[in-house]
Amino acid sequence: MKKILITGGAGFIGYHLANELLKNPANHLTLVDNLQRGRIDEDFKALLKNKRVQFIKADLTDQKFYKKLDKNFDQVYHLAAVNGTKWFYKMPQEVLRINTLSLIYILEWIKSLKKKTKLCFTSSNEAYAGALASFNKLPIPTPEKVPLVISDTYNPRWTYGATKLVGELFVIFYAKVYNFPAIIVRPHNFYGPRAGYDHVLPEWSQKIIARQDPFTICSPKETRTFCYITDAVKAMRMLMDSSITDNQPIETVHIGASDEITMEKLAEKMFEAAGWKPKKIISQPSPAGSVKRRLADITKIKKLIGWRPETKLADGLKKTFEWYTVHSKKYGKA
């Protein structure tokens, strides 16, 4: 039996990761979430019916919580964090406080355990994305070993990226000093069903369902890659289960797709998936601090564990839109 802890377990990645891990009948999961952004919806209720899943509602910034937490976990996936661009601007101080304190307390708890519990920390490409804007030297595709850059400490846009930058340092040196295995992953635009309603593809789904015309697209010339969520969580599971990542030095690994696309072309593909297109499209400029281009080099993860994304963008967009079509009606979000 393998005991696994997932923080942020009711969130987008946490939910799909739990389903991936449950494919192994030896895995028993404890999911922790404060439900600030994660939610107990019908999908999550169905997950909790599995006898190998336990859910705990808790505040990870409360040190008292860790005194009551089981001390016999084999793996910890630390996903919990305040994410979403609107939250960076709306409550930057809470992004900094919650993301940093929760990681510190998790690390302090892990170092106190007798068992060498393996940690997966989800960082972000936000930790280095400022290098392109600041120095115009960010290589594309971007490898893992690039400078971590916060381009403007006065711009709340970078509060999340700052917590991931310093978070990587915390994980590297706690694991090194206290001798426990750890892996750092940098997600690149995971998408799919149950991703909330704040990110670009869920927002577009809502607009399409509502037949919003004219249709507004922000940052039409900026480029991104999009990795379907089931591919992404499989990569995380493979990295954690691999003996290659059990030893020092700690690996920092990109998880993402390689098909770079502009936002305006992504919108076209989304319209195709939905079977509807607006008559008029309005383009809006990028907000201050927005990154013009993102493309991860995923050579490292291919070599380490043989992973590569399998879901074609058109197929992933169709599955995503179909889910939001059903759940927008159900939850009155359209």
Alpha-carbon 228 to chain mean position: 11
Helices (H) and strands (E) in the chain, counts: 12, 13
Domain span at 299: 2-195+227-259+295-312
Asked, for residue 203, whether it belongs to a domain, the answer is no
* pLDDT tens per residue across span 216-240: 999 999 999 999 999 999 999 999 9
The pLDDT of 306-315, averaged and rounded, is 97
Domain of residue 162, CATH code: 3.40.50.720
Confidence of residue 334 (pLDDT cuts 50, 70, 90): very low
The pLDDT of 75-97, averaged and rounded, is 92
Asked, for residue 264, whether it belongs to a domain, the answer is no
Asked, for residue 33, whether it belongs to a domain, the answer is yes
Determine whether 42 is exposed, middle or buried from the number of CB atoms within 10 Å of its CB (0-12, 13-18, 19+): exposed
Asked, for residue 282, whether it belongs to a domain, the answer is no
CA distances from 7 to 58, 80, 114, 125 (A): 10, 5, 20, 20
pLDDT beyond 50 at 332: no
Alpha-carbon span 243 to 22, nearest angstrom:
20
Asked, for residue 320, whether it belongs to a domain, the answer is no
> How does strand 223-224 pair with strand 261-262?
antiparallel
The predicted structure's pLDDT at residue 27: 98
Q: Could you tell me if 165 and 235 are in contact, meaning their C-beta atoms sit under 8 angstroms apart?
A: no
Confidence of residue 203 (pLDDT cuts 50, 70, 90): very high
Total domains in the chain come to 1
Alpha-carbon span 104 to 78, nearest angstrom:
11
Please give the model's pTM, rounded to 2 decimal places: 0.94
The predicted structure's pLDDT at residue 86: 81
Phi, psi of 231 (to 5 degrees): -65, -45
Q: Quote the tokens at residue 9.
A: 């377990």
